[in-house]
Amino acid sequence: MSPILPDVLAPGMRVVFCGTAPGTASAQAGAYYAGPGNRFWATLHEVGLTPVLLLPAEFARAAEFGIGLTDISKTASGSDAEVGDRGLDRKRLTATIATFAPGHLAFNGKNAARAALGRPVIYGPQPETIGSASVWVLPSTSGAARGFWDIGPWRDLARAVA
C-alpha cells in the first residue's frame, strides 16, 4: 500500500517532525498539517524554525530549512482515535531515522510519541535517542488538541535545534 503522504527527508536534517498519521483534511489535501485549525506551520514560523510562514501545500519546502516530515502510520488517515493502531510501524520509523540521522526527532503530540516509544511520555526532551537523534515530545498542533496547547516545549526545541 502506498503512503498517504510522502516523507520529506534528507540526510542530516536539523529536525524531523513525526505525527501519528495524516488527519482527514491532510489526506484529502495531499499535504501535511492541512486541517483548518492546525497550528503546525504557524508554530514553526513563530518559534523561528522557518523564516517564512509556509502553507500546507508548500510542505516539501520544509526541507529547505532542514526540517523533515513523517508519520508513524503511512497507510492510515483520520484522527488518532480513528487511526488507532492501523499501520503503526515503529520499525520503519526507527530505521528511517537511523538512515537519515537528523539532529532531533520531534513527535507532534503525545499519541504519536506513545505509539513510537511504547511507553507513557511527558512533553519535552526524552531520555532515549532514536538512531543518533535526540527525541522530543511536543504538544499537538491539531485543533482537536487545543485544550492541551502550550508553545513552550516548541520554543525549547527551537532553541535546541538552533
Name all domains of the chain by residue range, CATH numbers in brackets: 15-161 (3.40.470.10)
pLDDT in tens, 81-120: 666 666 668 899 999 999 999 999 999 999 999 999 999 9
Sheet of 124-130, strand order: 67-71, 15-19, 104-108, 133-138, 124-130
- pLDDT band for position 137 (cuts 50, 70, 90): very high
- State the Cα angle at 98 between 96 and 103, rounded to 5°: 105
- What does the pLDDT read at residue 80? 67
Selection from 56, 40, 11, 60 nearest residue 112 by Cα: 40
At position 48, the amino acid (one-letter code) is: G
- What does the pLDDT read at residue 16? 98
- What does the pLDDT read at residue 3? 86
- What does the pLDDT read at residue 106? 98
- What does the pLDDT read at residue 82? 67
Per-residue b or e along 65-100, where b marks 16 or more CB atoms closer than 10 Å to that residue's CB? ebbbbbbbbbebbbebeebeeebbbeeebeebbeeb
Asked if 12 and 63 touch (Cβ cutoff 8 Å), the reply is: no
DSSP 8-class letter at 119 = S
CA distances to 40, 58, 111 from 51, rounded to whole Å, are: 14, 14, 28
- Determine the average pLDDT of the residues in 122-144: 95
Model-level pTM? 0.94
- State the Cα angle at 40 between 114 and 75, rounded to 5°: 55
pLDDT in tens, 5-62: 999 999 999 999 999 888 889 999 999 999 999 999 999 999 999 999 999 999 999 9
- What does the pLDDT read at residue 155? 98
pLDDT in tens, 33-48: 999 999 999 999 999 9
